[in-house]
Structure 1
């Protein structure tokens, strides 16, 4: 009897392996025009048949990396950011409110709005894999009756079709290291004008971009190593004008500020617009040192008294941006550099007007 059972088990295992291979081949042939949703389902099914299927494991991991940006995970683990949003949403959302949550990700901010007393939250997420996961997270937390995930881009939401009425509160966390790179201004300009009631509240309320002079040998050596094995590498430095600093690199580079922050641009997220802008700012040096870069950071007010920043004193999941000097300058107390900053509502550029301290 044991002999027959082992044969049956072996046959079942063989059939499971064959079925898994068939499903993997189907997944490989599947177009990704649906954001990877059907491919993911096929790979999940393949791994249920054969948890050790090599190609299924590799393809699923590649699919997730392709469609689910890796910054989602440190963002969700950023307790200071989560606490700030929780407090701001609790302050802004009133019982009975209709809330629009733009770019809901895993669903955290939508659930915070429901917990704060929202009558209903409409959470939009255009990436199908992420939207499906958000629906599961929301269901597992018992909030499916008060949160609807809209699997679409906010620009395509229709009042009376997707939402019964405009929102009382618009929540978003769609900024990058300089507030602009995820299309926040264009998205919020549309949302506050077309999807929200007049005078609607917003989280965040406004943001300010700031710049200051910094010194960091480690940052310079990371992005512009002078030589390697005795060979001069300076002709390669032109490719490293802007340093996109990861949180880990930021922690090890030890940036030292040489002067105070100067305001570049202020963005009102309750009444946003997409007009380009240009400004000139004087960055003062009040400590001696080598000016290696102009460091740009943001301060974002979520609600009165609740501010998030990615400046040199902050921690958290955000990266940082630094515009490297062509050549390090000697910083002297009382000296200053003049810079020109420009944005087109989606991207930021910055250049040094006077490449010496004056």
Structure 2
């Protein structure tokens, strides 16, 4: 054994020296690289790509009026810092230079600016200086690929101002908030900036239920598929669905701490009258987490159902093979006996012995089938 190991090591060393492994070529002596799965722990990322288009929308409103403005430059938002009305500045597309200018002018701490520009950051809530900050995922369901997609959203709450930052100008879940702003004398128009921040958070959390409902439909579809066709393709669908449920659950789980942070905050930016609304959002995110956990268990049950179906199929195959083997055993035994090369066998000289033996085989075969049918074995 020692000699074998020595020769193997020598051969592998000489082979690698004579035949170096090219990049991308298969190396039988290389261990498989393990896959690392983790959240991005940093607050800033140099790999963020600059957007081609930046869309800046301002909703400046009070009880009597609501102005909707489309701005071209980030400097155009500066006059709303000290506005007497409530202002919502929504920025779609994050340029590093624009975010730095806005944060410098509005007095936002540089740590919050780094969080806004981060990529793949875990949901969090901070209270630094004169602002309350929330970072959380905005989720969408892709109907073509049946996958859960997410976009990072940052919300800054200040005095009479709310600033939201998004990456994709084409995707949004804030239409319900915009509709309420267009309604005269609505609760949102009569509210303050903290009520606007609540409305944005509530719209994001409500969108989670839409995504989880679509995942539930996929679970029902795959469940029917498992019962009809427990193939490897079905197993792939189950594993894919399990991955999407894991992505969804991992994304929304930290949001509970974000809403809880607003409830526990003693900031003057949050009024007592708005606390009950944040409690409602907290109840919703708890419900979303519980629903995600229930659906995750359903996906695990799908895997068990798949294994059960595969085992049932295997049992059916084994039962058929066992029945066939049992039916063939008696004729095989009889043929084996009369196939022995002995001279003194009484039945060898029988005139119709061959046909008698065949008849006996057929009778035994048919009798066994009748007995098996009667007992319900197949």
* TM-score, L = length of structure 2: 0.23
Larger Rg belongs to: 2
- Higher share of residues assigned helix: 2
- Higher share of residues assigned strand: 1
* TM-score, L = length of structure 1: 0.24
